[in-house]
Amino acid sequence: MRAQKWLMTILATGLAGATPALSQTIYPINRAEILEGSRFDFKVEFPNAPTSADVKVTINGKPAADIFGKPTAFTQNEEGQKHSALWLRGATLPAGNYVVEATQGANKATVKWEVFATAQPRRAKNVILFIGDGMSVAHRTAARIMSKGWEEGRFNGELAIDDMPNMALISTSGSDSIVTDSANSAHAYTTGHKSCVNALGVYCAKNALTLDHPKVETISEVIKRRSKMTIGVVTNAEIEDATPAAMVAHTRRRSDYNDIVKMFYDVKPDVIMGGGSPNFLPKTTPGSKRTDDLDFIAQFKAAGYTIATTKTEMNAAAASGTKKLLGLYNTSNVDGAFDLRLAKKGSVAKFPDQPDVAEQTRAAIDMLKSNEDGFFLMVESGRIDKYSHSLDWERAVFDTIMLDNAVKIAKDFAGERNDTLIIVVPDHTHAVSLVGTYDDERPGQLLRDKLGTYADSKAPNYGPLDADGYPTNVNTSRRLAVVFGTYPDTCDTGRPFMDGERVPALKSADGKTNVANEADCTGPLATRKAGNLPFDANSGVHSGDDGILTAMGPGAEKFRGHKPNTYVFRVMAEALALGGE
């Protein structure tokens, strides 16, 4: 009888598991935290293409146009699709709490926003945001062991990224998924809004074209519009890649590199450094990746920028007092510290005079610091992530040490000034752990025979450190055992890849799935591993684990406990007092 009653209840409530009714979608989304006076596109999408007479939108009980002080626009069958849309581009709001209701017949959708003010006077003159792309706890721990040493349970020094007074756990989920990509996670830091995978500076609506989605203002745009501060963007990835692009871009598709270059030109950060030169060159130039005749090298020159293509040129520009620099040091990503210093692989032979992230940071600060109104500098160590995707942990950890050296330069600049907020944070994490050490002296012929855990995890015997804290030999008899939790079919060797970045898997004969790279499967300790990722994966993937944020300077005390990634934007905006009409 009870089962029959349960069944009747299910039938009466509309069949559990049936497709839910479509509902209105409001952008910005529910629980958005919006900087007072920052610009955003307000959009409501209505399913089934109703007319304007069939819908109603209110904010705090009043017509939306009354609250914004501007008329909204309504489009039935937007872009020929089966929905209608109400828009207001470039909306702003004063501080307060807002309830937005969109009514269509009997259906009502509701979202709530908090528009926050920022107190005056401004607390920080400068903000330096360091992003270790994909940097996880194991990267930090391994970097500390490799660059500081370990003895009798204690480290022989602290990393600059660890030695800060404030710390918080940062969660990085996007609006559409638990595990983020680098685009919408960096977007959270630079806009304060959540968005979806592959999105930069936009919410993910139904628009067909990638540049038409509802936009939200980036911190670079707010700073340029409201202050005389200077801005720097530094990375060792391609400058159009997700994290640096998040400083300026508005696109639903992070791979819109040609559009992103134009967006860099539109915003004009004062210092721009990274790789990725082909998207700046007109299509008639050999090696160009543009599809038009625009020459952004020439346009930046005409706008007063010095162009640098090598470390020598970068240092000369900084020494000469240059205030505007476009530095493009590689046609792709700038090589990481492991190849620049030790292995000399990657593209080092082709580009022998590339600066590393620490050297770029020093030059950027030298060029920005003379501005009496202060500066905002974003620095990314982008290849921690890329090397973690390829399961090449030694290269990832070398780039963690490089990030640490860059942070030390910033801390030395900040010194006793007490006017510079420094934040170090990953945009997401990887499933990576330090589980012991491999010791070639242990008996047995298999890689797992060489793994020492617990009492057998003895200190590694890496070569002596160079002046910048990098071990000069990592292919030694006792090495850290760092393992990844996600991988395709692959083979482990338990040794660093001295002949070039690891390629864990290759495309199979069917052209769709991936198989282990047999080049890694024939060495003395090579161990074949069946992948735990879908068969179309050829590398490791991001994790949804929290990241560690450390910070110092005015405003840093607000970082404690657990925070969402959007909170980083809020702290920076409050420190710089960026709010206001």
- Each residue of 526-540: pLDDT tens digit? 999 999 999 999 999
Under a CB-based contact definition with an 8 Å cutoff, are residues 375 and 126 in contact?
A: yes
Helix, strand, coil % over all residues of the chain, rounded to 5: 25, 25, 45
Q: Is 293 annotated as a binding residue?
A: no
Confidence of residue 581 (pLDDT cuts 50, 70, 90): confident
Confidence of residue 207 (pLDDT cuts 50, 70, 90): very high
Q: Is 250 annotated as a binding residue?
A: no
Q: Is 41 annotated as a binding residue?
A: no
Q: Is 385 annotated as a binding residue?
A: yes
Mean pLDDT of all residues belonging to the chain: 95
Q: Is 428 annotated as a binding residue?
A: yes
Angle of CA points 142, 311, 307, to nearest 5°: 130
Residue ranges of the domains in the chain? 25-116, 126-432+541-576
- What pLDDT was estimated at residue 22? 65
Residue 399 CA: distances (Å) to CA of 237, 263, 330, 511: 12, 28, 17, 33
State the architecture of 25-116 in CATH terms: Sandwich (2.60)
Mean pLDDT of all residues in 45-65: 97
Instruction: Spell out the residues 6+ positions from residue 230 whose beta carbon is closer than 8 angstroms to its own.
Output: 270, 271, 323, 368, 371, 373, 374, 375, 376
- What pLDDT was estimated at residue 23? 83
CA-based R_g, the chain, Å: 26
- Beta-carbon neighbour count of residue 461 at 10 Å? 13
- What pLDDT was estimated at residue 321? 97
Please choose, from the candidates 238, 288, 296, 293, the residue with its C-alpha nearest in 3D space to the C-alpha of residue 267. 296
- What pLDDT was estimated at residue 19? 42
Residues noted as catalytic: 182
Q: Is 114 annotated as a binding residue?
A: no
Instruction: Spell out the residues 6+ positions from residue 581 whose beta carbon is closer than 8 angstroms to its own.
Output: 36, 37, 92, 94
Residue 228 has pLDDT above 90, yes or no: yes
Task: Report the helix count and the strand count for the chain, using DSSP H and E.
Answer: 14, 30
Q: Is 162 annotated as a binding residue?
A: no
Mean pLDDT of all residues in 35-40: 98
Under a CB-based contact definition with an 8 Å cutoff, are residues 217 and 257 in contact?
A: no
Percentage of the chain modeled with pLDDT above 90: 95
126-432+541-576 to CATH, choices 3.40.720.10, 3.40.50.10860, 3.20.20.80, 1.10.10.10: 3.40.720.10
184-200, pLDDT tens digit by residue?
999 999 999 999 999 99
Mean pLDDT of all residues in 448-464: 97
Residue 41 DSSP SS3: strand
Least confidently predicted of 10-19, 139-148, 509-518: 10-19
- What pLDDT was estimated at residue 17? 38
Least confidently predicted of 21-30, 34-43, 112-121: 21-30
- Beta-carbon neighbour count of residue 528 at 10 Å? 12
> Which DSSP letter does residue 460 get?
P
Mean pLDDT of all residues in 95-118: 97
Least confidently predicted of 17-26, 205-214, 549-558: 17-26
485-529, pLDDT tens digit by residue?
999 999 999 999 999 999 999 999 999 999 999 999 998 899 999
Is 43 buried (19+), middle (13-18) or exposed (0-12) by CB count in 10 A? buried
Q: Is 83 annotated as a binding residue?
A: no
Residue 15 has pLDDT above 70, yes or no: no
